[in-house]
A and B are shown apart, each in its own frame.
Chain A
Amino acid sequence: QKEVEQNSGPLSVPEGAIASLNCTYSDRGSQSFFWYRQYSGKSPELIMSIYSNGDKEDGRFTAQLNKASQYVSLLIRDSQPSDSATYLCAVNTNAGKSTFGDGTTLTVKP
């Protein structure tokens, strides 16, 4: 089992729809959770960080964390073609080690 698993893509949604990206992790000691967006040919850039159970909203993006279920998700509301990218889930353990999922490629169709 991989340490961080993301729902297999690619994921395609129409413009204006909600895109839902999911991630599960195996290390119960994990404390910090991040979503990065990576455009083709570019390096990852941080979208959201979340540290405690519940929802965290930032504009059109909402991160959800459930430590009991070892699950973290990212919702993108009103998806735009510019949201088309690969989304990486990253989990940090107490020891500071970062583990990334393989990413989910999202395509938003106009």
Chain B
Amino acid sequence: KAGVTQTPRYLIKTRGQQVTLSCSPISGHRSVSWYQQTPGQGLQFLFEYFSETQRNKGNFPGRFSGRQFSNSRSEMNVSTLELGDSALYLCASSLETGSETQYFGPGTRLLVL
């Protein structure tokens, strides 16, 4: 089975712009979670989608949003980018929501200038 894929792998944006990141889960997986990883804050949970519905949300401002499509693919959007949004954004998929093992994608590295 193919693993979790994320596009793009690298992205450079300027402050104030918006960005959309994409994640395709492992075939058959219905849950997709998004994380932000920075050296100072570690791995921070953004949100989880299951069957096109947001199931859980972390403590991030409303500039961070996401959605999931009927084929379980997910997108994450960040509007009005700030310098502090520079990070590695990781997507993880699992079969079901809840206590399932998560499989991570390679991540999208975002640099905001």
Measuring CB to CB, which residues of chain A are less than 8 angstroms from any residue of chain B? 31-32, 34, 36, 42-46, 49, 51, 88, 90, 92, 94-103
Given A44-B104, A98-B45, 4 more A-B residue pairs with CB atoms under 8 Å apart are A34-B102, A95-B56, A97-B58, A98-B33
Considering the chains assembled together, what is the distance between the CA atoms of A102 and B35 in angstroms? 13
Contacts A/B (CB < 8 Å), 9 sampled: A36-B104, A42-B106, A44-B104, A90-B102, A94-B98, A98-B45, A98-B102, A102-B42, A103-B43
**Identity of the chain B residue whose Cβ is nearest the Cβ of A36 in the assembled complex:** B104
Measuring CB to CB, which residues of chain B are less than 8 angstroms from any residue of chain A? 33, 35, 42-45, 48, 55-56, 58, 90, 97-99, 101-107
**Identity of the chain A residue whose Cβ is nearest the Cβ of B4 in the assembled complex:** A43
Considering the chains assembled together, what is the distance between the CA atoms of A98 and B90 in angstroms? 13
Q: How far is the CB of B84 from chain A (nearest CB, A)?
A: 17
Considering the chains assembled together, what is the distance between the CA atoms of A96 and B55 in angstroms? 8
B99's partner among A46, A51, A100, A101 (CB-CB below 8 A) is: A51
- SS of B interface (majority): strand
Considering the chains assembled together, what is the distance between the CA atoms of A92 and B94 in angstroms? 13
Considering the chains assembled together, what is the distance between the CA atoms of A48 and B46 in angstroms? 23
- Whether B90 pairs with A96 at a CB distance below 8 angstroms is no
Residues on A with beta carbons closer than 8 Å to the beta carbon of B90: 43-44
Q: How far is the CB of B102 from chain A (nearest CB, A)?
A: 7
- Whether A103 pairs with B101 at a CB distance below 8 angstroms is no
Considering the chains assembled together, what is the distance between the CA atoms of A42 and B98 in angstroms? 25
A46's partner among B56, B101, B107 (CB-CB below 8 A) is: B101
A97's partner among B43, B48, B101, B104 (CB-CB below 8 A) is: B48
- Whether A43 pairs with B48 at a CB distance below 8 angstroms is no
**Identity of the chain A residue whose Cβ is nearest the Cβ of B50 in the assembled complex:** A96
Considering the chains assembled together, what is the distance between the CA atoms of A44 and B101 in angstroms? 12
- Whether A96 pairs with B99 at a CB distance below 8 angstroms is yes
**Identity of the chain A residue whose Cβ is nearest the Cβ of B105 in the assembled complex:** A43
Residues on B with beta carbons closer than 8 Å to the beta carbon of A49: 101
Residues on B with beta carbons closer than 8 Å to the beta carbon of A97: 45, 48, 56, 58
